[in-house]
């Protein structure tokens, strides 16, 4: 083999090695990119702005309470399997399913004796319930305890009433509902419980259970 042939052979070997190394580097880069996408590192989900979700309202036709949930699965279960007891009334207001800055949890309790649920953001009231016959359930949702935390005009007060017969609380963002219930002997007005987002800015619907 002459020198010219050796140089040609050596050049081919180098070119082959270069191609192999380039392909390996490209494969490694693609693998890292895919891993980042799968793990969510390409978009930092922890810093993404959380969105409000609908809080659904049901009327318990057996005990007269109103039930609230932000969970789609729980809403669907009641609609599908318990429609004989729970009348679906739609979206009551919008809140957060996860805690964000300046929000507080709404704690949910269950009274096994009456079948009614009880909601509160008050830590003292929560502690009292924890030492009672009420059964603690998951945090229902997160809300603003005061209007001062956010100036968004869609954030409105949630009015709280106590339903005397079922020993439960009723909440509404609807001023027409509030005014109607103020004249009812079945409810006691407790004031503003917390603040949440309106279903729409000029909500005027009164639900069947209150008519």
Least confident of 12-26, 36-50, 152-166: 36-50
pLDDT at 204 over 60: no
State the average pLDDT over residues 61-84.
96
Mean pLDDT of 20-30: 59
Residue 10: pLDDT above 80? no
Least confidently predicted of 46-55, 150-159, 189-198: 46-55
**What average pLDDT score do residues 135-150 get?**
88
pLDDT computed for residue 148 by the predictor: 72
Checking if the pLDDT of 23 tops 70, the result is no
Q: What is the mean pLDDT of the chain?
A: 81
| Paired residues of 104 in beta bridges | 143
* Residue 38 clears pLDDT 60, i.e. is over it: no
Q: What is the pLDDT of residue 51?
A: 85
pLDDT grade, residue 150 (50/70/90)? low
Handedness of CA 12, 17, 20, 23 (dihedral sign): negative
pLDDT at 96 over 90: yes
In the structure, how many helices (H) and strands (E) does the chain have? 4, 9
Question: How far is residue 86's CA from residue 66's CA, in Å, rounded to a whole number?
Answer: 9
Q: What are phi and psi of 118, to 5 degrees?
A: -130, 135
How confident is the model at residue 43, as a pLDDT?
28
Percent of all residues in the chain with a pLDDT value above 90, rounded to a whole number: 57
Cβ atoms 162, 120 nearer than 8 A? no
pLDDT cut 70: percent of the chain above it: 69
CB contact at 8 A, 189 and 181:
yes
């Amino acid at each position: 083999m002459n020198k010219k042939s050796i140089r040609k052979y050596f050049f081919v070997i180098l070119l082959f090695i270069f191609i192999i190394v380039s392909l390996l580097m490209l494969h490694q880069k693609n693998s890292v990119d895919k891993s980042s996408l799968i793990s969510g590192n390409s978009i930092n989900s922890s810093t993404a702005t959380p969105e409000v979700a609908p809080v659904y309202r049901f009327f318990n036709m057996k005990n007269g309470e109103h039930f609230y949930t932000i969970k789609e699965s729980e809403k669907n279960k009641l609609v599908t399997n318990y429609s004989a007891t729970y009348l679906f009334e739609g979206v009551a207001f919008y809140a957060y399913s996860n805690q964000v800055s300046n929000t507080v949890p709404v704690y949910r309790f269950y009274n096994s004796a009456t079948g009614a649920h009880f909601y509160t953001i008050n830590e003292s009231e929560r502690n009292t319930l924890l030492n009672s016959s009420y059964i603690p359930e998951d945090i229902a949702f997160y809300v603003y305890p005061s209007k001062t935390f956010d100036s968004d005009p869609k954030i409105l007060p949630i009015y709280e009433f106590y339903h005397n017969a079922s020993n439960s609380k009723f909440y509404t963002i609807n001023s027409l509902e509030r005014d109607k219930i103020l004249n009812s002997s079945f409810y006691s007005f407790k004031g503003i419980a917390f603040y949440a987002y309106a279903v729409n800015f000029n909500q005027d619907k009164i639900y069947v259970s209150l008519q």
